[in-house]
């Protein structure tokens, strides 16, 4: 932005004073365009807010945003979108010229985005674009969650000051988990509220049912150079190393080195998962510094959830132990019944004439043939948990189900690994709770918490990779999921063809990864944890190899049935 001259500063203040019908006060906000000229329309809106609302009360809310440091600019911008929508109809009654001023401003702003919605990683830009595209009579093509937030944000002109403040707080609590609106420190009274909202590199915090991410607008926003940015590449305020540190601080230290992780990403993050990253962890946290009140809040909530998970099991201890015993017996019987017998040379069994010479000349009594059943050492099971926020209301149940299955397998001496997956800020996080050779870690399954979104296809692809590293001949993958893939990184189908990773596109990708695992000799089944309306999705992805746990009492019977069906085909 060009330097703002004293003349333009005076013009901005005079426009605000004239619209407010009050003079002599120093406005907290002034608006300028990218050339440093006073932006008439926005300054009229600022003046209208002073005129029609109890501005000192609004000033208290603006001041409260300073508690959140970099995020304050985003919260200010969102509140101004709401205020603009509310004050414009009031001003229009007295100043009909505002209609053309508003449309001109909207056209200029939309054109700066190339008439295309900005990448939804930039929340404030996305909502600003959507709002002013609506001004021009067009519904924006943004995610349904951003539309929902925008709908709630576009305040009615019928609201008074107290109602706007109350609604704003409710909105910020719901979408951003802001709970403290007390004034902390004074804001600089000369704050630029310009058409290029994000030039100050304000950090936007996104929080909806798929989690939180931290993003910023590139420095050259609004320039031709910005148009060449790859829309699948997540541009964040954090450097690559800082982003990795953020993910590690939230989910745990990485298992693999940077070199190994880069190698895995080249191998696995391709095709539909280009521009994605992987983070493998065991949930081991390095000493960390809480950087915001929201992070502190999330850590506290996650700790509470882990306690709830353990309590859920303990409250059902007697029933749980019975379920474990029943399931382990069913697994043992299934393995012995369905695994193919293997002929072995032994010292008892049917005499093998071709081997009899060994008894006389080599003093070797192993001259008999005996058919032994394949033992459990050739059989392993991986349990993969969908840890997205859509599982939020079922966290205790999901961890309980996974623990029961893992404990039953442990009793049968079946090697078992338990992992979860979720996605955040282009990273798919693979959290390994217990490895094949660590049955003592079953208790760690209760550390399961939901976070972020879910890129099911990449989660299954990563688990497929891990299973291929195991030495076991027979492999079974049990996935506990609500089968609702949804991730912010879109699928690139080629020039001018992209799709959100959700609904049909996400389901088809997940189905492809399931088929790839099966073609590689891995049996894949799903313990469906979702709602009745999503059963068709489960059928699309897993065919007939899924089952819903109608009640916890049926857990052992249902899982045993799934395992038996797969063992028949081994």
pLDDT of residue 79: 93
Q: Which two tokens stand for residue 243?
A: 């982003």
- The separation between CA 531 and the C-alpha centre of its own chain, rounded to angstroms, equals 20
What's the pLDDT at 159? Answer: 94
Residues 6+ apart with CB under 8 A from 386: 398, 420, 421, 422, 454, 456, 459, 479, 480, 481, 482, 529
Q: For 293-333+375-567, CATH number?
A: 3.40.50.410
Q: Determine the pLDDT at residue 239.
A: 73
Identify the pLDDT of residue 108. Answer: 87
The reported pLDDT for the residue numbered 119 is 54
- Give the integer Cα–Cα distance in Å for 433 and 419: 6
Low-confidence stretches of the chain (pLDDT < 70) are 1-2, 69-70, 115-122, 177, 179, 183-238, 287-297, 335-346, 361, 370-377, 568-570
Q: Tell me whether residue 161 is exposed, middle or buried, using C-beta atoms within 10 angstroms of its C-beta: 0 to 12, 13 to 18, 19 or more.
A: middle
Please write down the HEC assignment for all residues of 362-379.
CCCCCCEEEEEECCHHHE
| Cβ atoms 544, 510 nearer than 8 A | no
Q: What pLDDT score does 351 carry?
A: 79
Q: What is the pLDDT of residue 52?
A: 95
pLDDT of residue 448: 97
Domain ranges, ordered by start, for the chain = 6-227, 293-333+375-567, 342-373
pTM over 0.85: no
CA-closest candidate to residue 474, choices 563, 371, 370:
563
Rounded to whole angstroms, how far apart are CA atoms 336 and 332?
Answer: 6
Q: Which helix (H) or strand (E) holds 41?
A: helix 40-52
Q: Which of 537, 464, 481 is nearest to 507 (CA)?
A: 537
Cβ atoms of 222 and 500 closer than 8 Å? no
Using DSSP bridges, classify how beta strands 350-351 and 368-373 pair: parallel, antiparallel or unpaired. antiparallel
272/292 Cα distance (integer angstroms): 34
First to last CA, the chain: 67
Answer yes or no: are the C-beta atoms of 348 and 370 closer than 8 Å: yes
Closest CA to 73 of 168, 250, 213, 202: 202
Strands 522-528 and 546-548: parallel
């Amino acid at each position: 932005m060009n330097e703002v001259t004293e003349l333009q500063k005076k013009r901005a203040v005079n426009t605000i004073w004239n619209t407010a019908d009050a003079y002599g006060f120093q406005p907290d906000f002034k608006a300028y365009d990218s050339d440093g000229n006073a932006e008439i329309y926005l300054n009229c809106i600022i003046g209208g807010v002073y005129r029609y609302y109890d501005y000192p009360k609004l000033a208290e809310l603006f001041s409260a945003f300073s508690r959140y440091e970099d995020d304050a600019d985003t919260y200010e911008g969102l509140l101004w979108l709401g205020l603009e929508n509310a004050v414009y109809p009031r001003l229009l009654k007295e100043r009909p010229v505002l209609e053309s001023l508003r449309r001109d401003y909207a056209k200029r702003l939309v054109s700066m985005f190339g008439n295309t919605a900005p990448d939804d990683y930039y929340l404030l830009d996305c909502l600003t674009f959507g709002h002013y595209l609506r001004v021009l009579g067009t519904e924006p093509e943004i995610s349904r969650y951003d539309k929902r937030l925008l709908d709630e944000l576009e305040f009615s002109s019928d609201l008074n000051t107290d109602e706007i403040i109350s609604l704003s707080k409710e909105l910020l609590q719901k979408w951003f988990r802001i709970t403290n609106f007390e004034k902390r420190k004074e804001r600089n009274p000369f704050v630029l509220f310009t058409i290029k909202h994000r030039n100050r590199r304000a950090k936007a915090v996104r929080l909806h049912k798929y989690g939180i991410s931290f993003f910023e607008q590139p420095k050259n926003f609004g320039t031709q150079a910005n148009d060449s940015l790859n829309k699948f590449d997540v541009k964040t305020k954090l450097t690559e190393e800082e982003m990795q540190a953020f993910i590690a601080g939230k989910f745990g230290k990485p298992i693999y080195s940077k070199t190994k992780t880069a190698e895995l990403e080249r191998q696995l993050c391709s095709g539909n998962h280009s521009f994605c990253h992987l983070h493998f962890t065991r949930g081991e946290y390095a000493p960390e510094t809480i950087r915001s009140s929201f992070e502190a809040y999330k850590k506290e909530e996650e700790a509470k959830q882990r306690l709830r998970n353990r309590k859920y099991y303990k409250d059902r201890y007697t029933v749980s132990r019975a379920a474990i015993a029943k399931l382990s017996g069913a697994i043992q019987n299934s393995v012995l019944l369905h695994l193919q017998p293997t002929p072995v040379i032994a010292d008892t069994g049917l005499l093998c004439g071709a081997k009899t010479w060994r008894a006389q000349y080599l003093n070797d009594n192993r001259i008999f043939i005996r058919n032994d059943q394949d033992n459990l050492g050739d059989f392993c099971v991986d349990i993969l948990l969908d840890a997205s926020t859509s599982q939020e209301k079922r966290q205790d149940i999901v961890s309980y189900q996974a623990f029961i299955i893992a404990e039953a397998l442990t009793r049968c001496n079946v090697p078992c690994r338990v992992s979860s997956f979720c996605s955040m800020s282009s990273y798919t996080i693979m959290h390994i709770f217990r490895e094949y050779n660590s049955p003592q870690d079953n208790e760690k399954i209760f550390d399961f918490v939901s976070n972020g979104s879910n890129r099911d296809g990449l989660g299954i692809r990563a688990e497929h990779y891990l299973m291929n590293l195991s030495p076991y001949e027979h492999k079974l993958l049990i996935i506990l999921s609500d089968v609702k893939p949804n991730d912010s990184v879109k699928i690139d189908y080629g020039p001018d063809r992209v799709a959100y990773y959700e609904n049909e596109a996400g389901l088809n990708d997940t189905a492809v990864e399931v088929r790839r695992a099966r073609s590689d000799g891995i049996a894949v089944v799903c313990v469906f944890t979702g709602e009745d309306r999503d059963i068709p999705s489960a059928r699309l992805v897993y065919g007939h190899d899924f089952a819903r746990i109608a009640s916890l009492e049926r857990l052992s019977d249902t899982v045993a049935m799934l395992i038996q069906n797969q063992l028949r085909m081994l």
